[in-house]
Amino acid sequence: MNFDFENKVYVMGILNITPDSFSDGGENYSLEKAIIHGKKMVEDGVDIIDVGGESTRPGSDPVSLEEELARVIPLIKRLVEEVSVPISIDTYKAQVAKEALEAGATIINDVSGFKMDRDMAKVAGEKNAYSILMHMRGTPKSMQQDYSYKDLLGEVEEELQESIDLALEAGVTRDRLILDPGIGFAKGLEENVILLNNIERLKKRFNLPVLIGASRKKFIGTILNIENPKDRLEGSLAVAAIGAYEGAAILRVHDVKETARVVKLANFLRNYKK
């Protein structure tokens, strides 16, 4: 499996088999509902399905290793058999990632950038798995309680470099690395906006593809004065369009059908100007 990040923006669909995710918690909290939703995303044009078994919304409590495995492994096994798109595992636990890769997933999406479980880099290196390294400070439980930056971009870049080093030292080749600046993770409205306006800087700084995960997030609701995350479609699509045009390689989203249409147009416009 190879991606053409230079010429295409990929849509990653969020498939949370959790009761408490911030936007879609409980909607797919059964294997059969999750399979149905995964197939629907494929019909709607998704390029990658990102399976998650633990909410990482601000203030969320962790789940046990056993519970997370029980949620995600049966789902991944079914998806691998029933859909044709790559499967990503959204976890910061090395054992979950290991078993997910063995079940057929090909991408690790770690919100901690390999820092919460230091065995994660080893797991990724053994398989040379595609690895999405996200920037976050603290844990999902604590990340929004106390954060400050003197030099936001410089500090995010420095801390992403730490994650890159962990991956490379463990044997992950550079062509398998993808960076995520962590929109909404230890960030406020201002930090999120600055990062979204500097996608090209991150790309040039590291010469690596960048993933943007802004779908339905709080800063969109704050700007538009919309409380319910499910009512933030237009804002999410606006950020997706800007992200795609500014050079994001992957957009991680809830609303696949609408985003896929936006990305198709953004891809056309971006490639037309070359």
List the catalytic residues.
217, 252
Look-up of token digits 């936001």: 152
* Nearest by Cα to 15 from 65, 96, 87: 87
Do residues 251 and 9 lie in contact, with contact meaning Cβ atoms separated by under 8 Å? yes
Q: What angle do CA 250, 67, 141 make, to 5 degrees?
A: 65
Would you list the DSSP string of 100-143? HHHHT--EEEETTTT-SSTTHHHHHHHHT-EEEEE--SS-TTTT
Exposure pattern of 144-162 as b/e (b: 16+ CB <10 Å)? beeeebeebbeebbebbee
**What is the residue type of 80?**
V
Which residues are 87's β-sheet partners? 49
CA distance 274 to 259: 23
Check: CB of residue 239 under 8 Å from CB of residue 248: no
103, 73 Cβ separation under 8 angstroms: yes
